[in-house]
Amino acid sequence: MRVPYEKMYNEFVRVLLKYGFDKEKAEISAKLYADASRDGVYTHGLNRFPKFIKSIHDGIVDIHAEPVLKESFGAFERYDGCHGPGNLNAYACTKRAIELAKQNTIGCVALANTNHWMRPGNYGLMAVEQNCIGIFWTNTVPNMPPWGGRDARLGNNPITLAIPHGDTPVLVDVAMSMFSYGKLEVYKRSGRPLPVDGGLNKNQQPTRNAAEILETHESYPIGYWKGSGLSLALDLIAAALAGGRTTRQVGELPLETELSQVFICIDLDSLPDKENIAANVEATLRDMETSTPVEEGRPVHFPGTHMAEVRSNNMENGIPVEEAIWQQVLAL
């Protein structure tokens, strides 16, 4: 089943207005959700929307809250998210980080007391549209064991790195686990096995069964021990810069909230060699694509290429949806 972009966007706006958002915020939030699905990140677009509405019901999200400036240190600012909608808080902080970068070449905003930011790639795309490099990450509830452990003590702490490159920016958008929990839920609903081992089951055996990993919360970190260490570092830096909770402290709450996030933008227009930088990016990407593919007919491509192809197809033919989730939204 496919749904036109405008229809999906309009349904999101309708529901958000019904739940008390003002028109401007409803339109921004709806666009962030619809853009995620348009670009193929279905787990953090339509699929996540009913959960967001539930978080409002559960009192986790204050739809009227906005980020409040706590402290300013030149090109670095700290904000309190005041339990507001995670995607709107992240949108506002990205805009501010871009403004700081345009003033100072680099801008950093750290955000405490916020909620799930949905698809972080949206904020990377905001940065590259202003010819900025974007580096953004968040901590999460404990949902991944440290390497060598069995109990979830780390978050899978997603990070996004975005680099301007015309209409096809480089966009790396990854969690610190082999598979995000949204992706695991998709595989569970479909009954399909994961393409590679994603974690451990209750018998401590490697498994490609997403349902088993969702049961144990013993997801493999990316790069095994390396991803475990990177997750820890991202968590500690985010909490330190934001003056907010670490993953451990988030885990002390009854539900995932009060997250710490970092938004860094670097303005390439401020650099005297920006043309040379752009040429080097282009040359590097073209060189990468000349690598002999392992599988014939599947050439090597850089992160962001596939997104552009999916976006074009989905805008032309409609966005693929899981019908049961689409019906949930229509019923809201």
| Domain chopping of the chain, boundaries | 1-58+305-332, 66-173+223-301, 178-220
In degrees and rounded to multiples of 5, residue 200 shows phi and psi of -115, 145
Q: 1-58+305-332 sits in which CATH class? A: mainly alpha
- The size of the chain, in residues, is 332
Shortest CA distance to 91 belongs to which of 132, 45, 42, 125? 125
Residue 77 has pLDDT above 90, yes or no: yes
pLDDT of residue 150: 86
Where in the sequence numbering do the catalytic residues fall? Answer: 44
Task: Give the C-alpha separation, 54 to 65, whole Å.
Answer: 17
Exposed, middle or buried by CB within 10 Å (0-12, 13-18, 19+), for 286? exposed
CATH fold of the domain at 178-220: Wheat Germ Agglutinin (Isolectin 2); domain 1 (3.30.60)
Task: Give the C-alpha separation, 21 to 24, whole Å.
Answer: 8
CATH fold of the domain at 66-173+223-301: Ribosomal Protein S8; Chain: A, domain 1 (3.30.1370)
pLDDT band at 117 (very low <50, low <70, confident <90, very high): very high
Mean pLDDT for the stretch of residues 176-201: 90
Mean pLDDT for the stretch of residues 152-180: 95
Phi-psi region of 318 (alpha: psi -120 to 50; beta: other; left: phi over 0): left
Residue 23 has pLDDT above 90, yes or no: yes
Q: What is the pLDDT of residues 225-281, one digit of tens each?
A: 999 999 999 999 999 999 999 999 999 999 999 999 999 999 999 999 999 999 999
pLDDT of residue 245: 98
Task: Give the C-alpha separation, 79 to 101, whole Å.
Answer: 17
Kindly report the average pLDDT of the chain as a whole number.
Answer: 96
Phi-psi region of 20 (alpha: psi -120 to 50; beta: other; left: phi over 0): left
* Residue 206 near residue 200 (C-beta atoms within 8 A): yes
Q: What global pTM score does this model have?
A: 0.94
pLDDT of residue 210: 93
Could you count the other beta carbons within 10 Å of the beta carbon of residue 150? 12
